[in-house]
Each structure stands twice: as C-alpha cells, then as structure tokens.
Chain A
Amino acid sequence: MFLNRQSIWPRSLRFTATLLLCSLALLIDCGKKGGKTEGKERSTIQVKGSDTMVNVAQAWAEEYAGVAADVDVEVSGGGSGVGIAALERGTIDIANASRNIKPEEAELAKKNTGKDPKEFVVGFDAMAVYIHKDNPLEEITIDQLKQIYSEGGGITKWSQLGVKIPDVSNDEIVRVSRQSSSGTYEFFREHVLGNKDFKLGSLDMNGSKEVVELVGSTKTAIGYSGMGYATESVAMLSIKTDAGSFSPTVENTVNKSYPLARSLLMYTLGEPEGAVKRYIDWIVSSAGQKILQENGYVPITTPASVN
C-alpha cells in the first residue's frame, strides 16, 4: 500500500503542495503580525468619496505616511455620493465630499450608526467650465449654461452663443457631464440648473480627469470639473454675472465672487477621535493646506500665509 501510494503520487508534487500551503500560512500569519510595530498599535483610516478630491486625498495620504508612520490611510474614490453612502453605513472613517450632505443622508447615518455626521471644511474649489483651447469663447452666464445643459434649454449650437470654432464645420455643442453619484454633478445641478434635470444626450464621464480629457480632444465640447484638473489643451470660461465677469482663480474663489465656488468637505461620524482627529488636524494645518494648493485647489487659510 505504501509503496503503491508513493509511486502514484509524485514526491515532488507533494513537496510543492506542502511548500505552497506553508508559504500561504506564513503570508497570513505575517500579515497579522505586521500589524504591530514595536508594540505600538497601528491604526487605519479609511477615506472614500469625491472624485474631485481623490487626487489631493491621495497626496495627503502619501505625505502623511512620512508624518505619522503608525497610521495607514486608505483612499478610494467613486464620487461624493459613494463616500456618503458608505459613511451612512459606518463602514468608513472619513467621507470626502464636494457637496454638502443632504438632510435625509444625515438622518440615515444617525439612524444606522447613532452618530451625527460632522463636517470639516478642508479647502475650496472653483468648479470650472471647460472648453477646448481653440474655442474663442471667453465668458458665459449661468443662464446660458442652464440653457445648454438643462432639460428644455434652448441652446444646442455654438452659433447661438455667437461663436464660430475655427476649422470645424459641426456647430453642435457636445455636452460633457458627470455620473450621478458625483458631487460635482449634484453641485452643478443645484447651482446651475436650479435642480432641474439634465438634458438627455450628454456624455456622462466617470471622473473629473475624463471630462477634461474629452473636452481637450473635442473642439465642440463643453464640460465642468474642479479647477485642479485643468490641462494645456483646455480653457476655463469666466462666468459673467451682474457684478462683472469672474474667472475661476484663487482670489475670486477666496472672496466668493466666482459664482461656482464651493467648499471641499470631509465628514466623520460624530466627533473624530485619536488618529482620525490628528489626521484632519494635520490636513487643515499649513502642511496639509500646502499640498492642497499644489494640487490646484484653494486653501482655507489665505494663500499668503501658506506660501
């Protein structure tokens, strides 16, 4: 019997199998042990939400690894709505949002977890309206934007705005928008469309970068995204109001004259404690705000004091 078995099961195969099992056990074991460094408890902060903020959140996490070695920050995107939905269920520590939490969302969070979401303003953004760099248009009014984007709006051609894009025969405006879980989408819908619905037929992209890239490669396109995503192939429109024409610059965002300025927010469940509190404190400190500014957004402290 023994002889028989050995001849049928190749020895090397059994060896390989044993080796595989052992290494797997080691992997899991070490993974657990790795959690503690020199007796000090490691803590993990889970951050999820806004695509507008995901790159600056990533930059914060990258930098924070050098500030506090015992804290792991895990960043994921998905959109402000995704972050807030995860916070409602208590599965994450911090939700990034480029829009304010809705009362019903706060209620749901309270019902599920027993804690009220607490809001932190961690920066400002001017939601920029992007066009292709060859498009001669320089300014636009909120009402014109509404006519372009909202259901029943009358503007569908560039000529209606008095614009002739060079070297392009097609006059149709290509509307680039965001997916509905995006905070930028919600903000645009609230502040530009007055909560009316979007016109059908817009191209809804999954990320701010995709919006800007599509606008940069399509001469007849118009799109909206955070100011941090500007590239060389697009131009940002100034917004014309009764008080004048304002471009999405740092100054216009700080003094709130740019009409589409918004706050970048972080939400926690209840008052944050320990590592989460220290992380948010660091983000609003000058070190964290400097990173925010490097990513193209407007710090909450005046820019002069950050530089």
Chain B
Amino acid sequence: MEPTAAVRFSRNSFVRNKERLQEIARWVFFSMAILMIVPLVTIIGYLVCHAAPSLNWEFLVEVPKRGMREGGIWPALVGTIYLVFISLAIAAPIGVLAAIYLNEYAKDNWLNRLINLAVINLAGVPSIVHALFGLGAFVYAARLGYSVISASLTLAIMTLPVIIASTREALSSVPMPFREACWNVGATRWQTIKAVVLPNSISGILTGVILQVSRAAGETAPIMFTGAVFYKAVKRGDFFPYQLTDQCMALSMHLYTVTTQVPDVKESISYATAVVLLGVVLMVNASAIGLRIWMRNRKKW
C-alpha cells in the first residue's frame, strides 16, 4: 500500500503496554478513592447496628434516668445546640468582618502580615490549649465561672481563625475585574463590597461558617474545662433549661461520661449518643452542601 499506511495508527505492543499501564493506574487510584469511604460506611454501620435498640424519638426528648442508665439525652442535645449557636453568634460576625478587612482593605504592611500570621497560627492551636486558655481567661480572670457563656466564648475563639480563613478564601474567589469595574464607575470600597463582593461570595462564606458548627459540636476538651457538666437535672422536652451563667450538658461530654464513668450502662445507650452526635454533625454538613448548591445555581456568571 501507500507509505501513509505504515504511519497509520495501529495497536502495536508499545501502545498495548501503555494502555495496560493506564488501566492499572486508573484502578489503583479508584481503589484508593473507594478505600476512603470504607471507614465512613463501616463506622456509621457499626454505630447504627449497636445503637438500634435505643434509637427512637423517646431517646431524643427524654432526660437521663436512673443514673444515666436509662432514659434519653435531651439535656445534652439542647446543651450542644446552645453552645454551638451562642459560639457561632459570637465568632461568625467577628470572623467575617475581620476577613473582609483583611481581604478587601488591608495593605501589605507589617501589621497586616502580623495579623495574618496570628490567624494562621491560632488555627493550628490544639483544642486542649484553647480549653486551658478559656479556663484561665473566662472562668477565672473574667469571673464568668463555669458557665455556658464561658464555654461558648472558648469555642468561639477556637473557631474564629478557621472562619476567617474560609471567609477570606471565599472573598478572594471573586474575580478582581468585578471589583475594578465597580470602582471605575466611582463606587467606594464599601459600596463595592456591599454590591459586588459579598453577594458573589456569600455562599462560600456561609458554607465556611456552617462547617464550623460541626467542629464546635464535636469538641469535648474546651467545654469540659469551662462549662460542660457530667449531669444536670432538666425537664423532659424543655427548650430553655439553661441560663447563660449555668453550666450545661453536651453530647460529646455525655458520650465521654457514659462510656468511661458510669457503671452498668447498656451498650446501646452510648452508641445511640454517638449516632445522635454524628447525625447532628452530618445534618449540618448536608445543609451546608445544600446551601452551596442552591446559591451556586443563582450565580450569574
């Protein structure tokens, strides 16, 4: 045939070898990705299996009885909700506003570099250190005592740097030309932030803030030192059992105490507590994902 036929594509041994390698690589990567979800599925399956005898509506709204060996986890559930919401109410505004300053206003000088450094380092501080700081600063020095407000402030300080980091990331994902276009029609920085930057980054900001809920809900050390108790008598289904100056129960702490301190607890109770804690966290995460999808669909670019 013509010489062109020789250079036409044909499946010679070199190509086959190449393709085989490609297949192997694909399967190795795929199996690693699958391997990642195995622990999650196993953990959830294992927990739910063991928790099944205790998991029902009554368990959620009933208070612990007979030395926590029976009844439910209502006071702990409400306590966790209190801690998470109050800490977010403190940390979210401060964090978001600080991030807006750092991303939109701050010039690259030594002070702002110092602030950045502080934020990054604060994010890496272990939670037990935050706990000790909260104990010294809020419980002892500020004379707030062991209380919901001390624990919430401690959690707020712990989540603050991560909120700042995630908000900054969301803000910097707004393309620079958007801002420049706005400035060019005579808008001030604040007008630009209000009309262009925030509306385009709000989904990212909210996702970052909501994801902090899961971290705050799961922490044990900071609240154990500053305001979470082993037990407090609360009425069944009472939505407002705690004042700001009271101590409260919390799910993570409750899980710790029923597994390590209370003798003769039915196994299913501690597993059910873990399932509820996990459920709260997963629900919050799912709502963050849902929010992100909904907001992204509204994006006009």
Query: Using a CB–CB distance below 8 Å, which chain A residues touch chain B?
Result: 4-5, 8-10, 13, 24, 27-28, 30-35, 44, 46, 48, 51, 54-55, 57-59, 61-62, 64-65, 72-77, 86, 89, 91-92, 206-210, 212, 228-229, 231, 295
Q: Which of A31, A86, A208 is in CB contact (< 8 Å) with B240?
A: A31
Interface size on B, residues (CB 8 A): 37
The interface stretch among B1-9, B32-40, B256-264, B274-282 is B256-264
B240 A75 Cβ-Cβ under 8 A? no
B244 A28 Cβ-Cβ under 8 A? yes
B231 A75 Cβ-Cβ under 8 A? yes
Q: Which residue of the partner chain A has the closest CB to B195?
A: A8
Query: Using a CB–CB distance below 8 Å, which chain B residues touch chain A?
Result: 64-65, 67-68, 82, 85-86, 89, 139-140, 145-146, 195, 199, 202, 228-233, 239-247, 257, 260-264, 298
A62 B65 Cβ-Cβ under 8 A? yes
Known: A8-B199, A46-B247, A74-B229. A34 touches B240 (CB 8 A): yes
B230 A58 Cβ-Cβ under 8 A? yes
Q: Which residues from chain B contact A86 at a C-beta distance below 8 Å? A: 146
For the complex, what is the distance from the CA of A24 to the CA of B263, rounded to whole Å? Answer: 38
For the complex, what is the distance from the CA of A48 to the CA of B243, rounded to whole Å? Answer: 19
For the complex, what is the distance from the CA of A89 to the CA of B68, rounded to whole Å? Answer: 30
Known: A10-B298, A77-B230. A72 touches B246 (CB 8 A): yes
Known: A31-B243, A212-B263. A75 touches B195 (CB 8 A): no
Main secondary structure of the interface of A (DSSP, over half): helix
For the complex, what is the distance from the CA of A52 to the CA of B233, rounded to whole Å? Answer: 20
Please give the distance in Å from B295's CB to the nearest CB on chain A: 8
Known: A10-B298, A34-B241, A91-B140. A76 touches B263 (CB 8 A): no
Q: Which residues from chain B contact A34 at a C-beta distance below 8 Å? A: 240-241, 243
Q: Which of B82, B195, B232 is in CB contact (< 8 Å) with A4?
A: B195
Known: A13-B202, A58-B67, A295-B67. A32 touches B244 (CB 8 A): yes
A65 B146 Cβ-Cβ under 8 A? no
Q: Which residues from chain A contact B239 at a C-beta distance below 8 Å? A: 30
A74 B246 Cβ-Cβ under 8 A? yes
Q: Which residues from chain B contact A28 at a C-beta distance below 8 Å? A: 86, 244
Q: Which residue of the partner chain A has the closest CB to B260?
A: A207
**Which 8 pairs between the two chains have the least Cβ-Cβ distance?**
A65-B233, A58-B231, A34-B240, A8-B199, A75-B231, A76-B229, A30-B240, A74-B247
Please give the distance in Å from B265's CB to the nearest CB on chain A: 9
B240 A27 Cβ-Cβ under 8 A? yes
Q: Which residues from chain B contact A35 at a C-beta distance below 8 Å? A: 243
Known: A61-B233, A89-B140. A77 touches B257 (CB 8 A): yes
A74 B232 Cβ-Cβ under 8 A? yes
B233 A62 Cβ-Cβ under 8 A? yes
Q: Which residues from chain B contact A9 at a C-beta distance below 8 Å? A: 199
For the complex, what is the distance from the CA of A229 to the CA of B135, rounded to whole Å? Answer: 31
Known: A62-B65, A73-B232. A91 touches B145 (CB 8 A): yes
Q: Which of A32, A61, A207, A295 is in CB contact (< 8 Å) with B232?
A: A61
Known: A61-B232, A65-B233, A73-B233. A55 touches B241 (CB 8 A): no
B260 A61 Cβ-Cβ under 8 A? no
Q: Which residues from chain B contact A64 at a C-beta distance below 8 Å? A: 233
A24 B139 Cβ-Cβ under 8 A? no
Please give the distance in Å from A107's CB to the nearest CB on chain B: 19
Q: Which of A4, A32, A206, A209 is in CB contact (< 8 Å) with B243?
A: A32
A209 B246 Cβ-Cβ under 8 A? no
Please give the distance in Å from A80's CB to the nearest CB on chain B: 14
For the complex, what is the distance from the CA of A65 to the CA of B261, rounded to whole Å? Answer: 22
Known: A34-B243, A72-B246. A55 touches B261 (CB 8 A): yes
For the complex, what is the distance from the CA of A208 to the CA of B242, rounded to whole Å? Answer: 29
